Amino acid sequence: MNGTAPGGGLPLASIDIGSHTIRLLSAILGPGERLFPMLSQRHITRLARGFQPDENLEESAIRDSLSVLSHYAGMLKSHGIRSVCCGATGVVRRARNRSAFLKAIEDFTGLRVDILSESREAYLSAKGTLSVLPSHSGLTLSFDLGGSSTEFLLVDGDENDVLWSTSIFTGAATLTERHLSENHLPTEALPIARTAVRSLLEPAISTLGTLARRRGKSLGALRIVGTAGTVSTLAAMFLQMPVYDPDRVNGLVLTSPWVDATVQLLAGMPPALRRELPGLEEGREDIILGGALIVQEILASLHREEFTVTDGGLLEGILLDLAEREMGWPQRLLSPLTWETRKR
């Protein structure tokens, strides 16, 4: 991401240490309550590689992550960015060796990392998601589909309030590791994975329906918004983008018939062939089927035919929150700050 920084602005940066990818975003907090994006980096490190609940992160994944974070720290130093907020999610939150991992990061790079709780991750993800979309009255359900978990958050746009949030420990990488990792999938793999996702979604969907009814709403009245790597990759595949452009992704509507067809297409292809699909980010060819299947089941569980895609999410939410704290403002879901440009 590149932009023109205004003179005298405050440089800020956020880092999202996810279960599949580590991302960096920096921006200048400038006049008029505007953020001028400057740098954007993303590297796949696969922290969820071989991970089972309550086990350790693999040493090779740790080494890869430390290398990427060292690179990011060097970039931040060279650009004079001292105000940095780093958040870790998913498998880091559950790993037995998480404390040792965070200490290694600080010792090796100087970066201090906070492990985000499930509710905090959902809140910051929705904050970033909503910051790049037009305002919306009524209820919005956002889902952040990561490598190892999926966060849901229900927002009342009329009251600028969070009504409910939850996290489900299934994501593109973990579902793939457990059910979809073979190069040529056996016939029963997809139904087994689908059943596993449905059983995890069921309590959340039930609670969501109860909350909507209490407010005199139906699930059919919700605006559904999805974010994170799987969702933005599906959008890029739909648009067949040779070069990723977030401006084309933000606000794009994907339909359940297209998602259904894409799941079937991916299921019939080994990962090596998926690499040839336009818009599919290199390094996601093995986990995109798992992520697409989760999206498919979210829509089916909600009896919905479409959802809105956004490129904004947790990374942007962390940076917005940091900017507001630097300004001494109270915490708000709908930030008064605006992005000057979203080009990458």
pLDDT above 50 for 2: no
The mean pLDDT value of the chain amounts to: 87
Give the pLDDT confidence score for residue 160 in this predicted structure.
66
CA angle, 122 then 220 then 237, to 5°: 65
Helix, strand or coil, per DSSP, at residue 301: helix
pLDDT at 1: 37
The model's pTM = 0.78
Which distant-in-sequence residues (6+ apart) come within 8 Å of 173 by Cβ?
A: 19, 20, 46, 48, 49, 147, 148, 287, 290
Q: For 263-280, what is the mean pLDDT?
A: 91
In this model, does residue 251 exceed pLDDT 50? yes
102-106, 166-170, 234-238 — which is least confidently predicted?
166-170
CA 48 to chain centre: 15
Of 321-325, 331-335, 338-342, the poorest mean pLDDT is in: 338-342
Catalogue all structural domains in the chain, each as residue range(s) with its CATH number.
10-118+318-339 (3.30.420.40), 133-309 (3.30.420.150)
pLDDT at 3: 40
* The pair of three-digit structure tokens given for residue 137, joined into one six-digit string: 């009255």
Average pLDDT over residues 219-225: 82
Most confident stretch, 4-8, 24-28, 337-341: 24-28
| Residue 196 pLDDT > 80 | yes
Is the confidence at residue 4, as pLDDT, over 70?
no
The mean pLDDT value for 307-335 works out to: 90
Express each pLDDT in 83-126 by its tens digit: 999 999 878 988 999 999 999 999 999 999 999 998 888 889 88
pLDDT tens for residues 287-297?
899 999 999 99
Report, as an integer, the average pLDDT of 230-251.
89
Convert the pLDDT of each residue in 18-61 to its tens digit: 888 899 999 999 888 889 988 889 898 988 777 766 688 899 99
Structure tokens belonging to residue 148: 């190892």
Give how far Cα 253 sits from Cα of 201, 266, 306, Å.
22, 20, 7
Cα separation, 137 vs 120, whole angstroms: 23
As a whole number of Å, the end-to-end CA separation of the chain is: 4
- 40, two tokens: 């954007």
**CA–CA dist 242, 125 (Å, integer):** 27
Q: Is the pLDDT of residue 343 over 50?
A: no
Torsion, Cα 55 61 67 68, to 10 degrees, reads -90
pLDDT tens digits along 144-160: 898 878 989 888 766 66
Return the structure tokens found at 39. 């740098």
Q: Does residue 199 carry a pLDDT above 80?
A: yes
Residue 234: band (very low, low, confident or very high) from pLDDT cuts 50, 70, 90: very high
**DSSP H stretches of helix in the chain:** 59-78, 90-94, 98-109, 118-131, 172-179, 189-214, 229-239, 246-249, 256-267, 271-274, 288-302, 314-327
Dist CA 143 CA 9 (whole Å): 33
Please report the pLDDT score of residue 158 as a whole number. Answer: 67
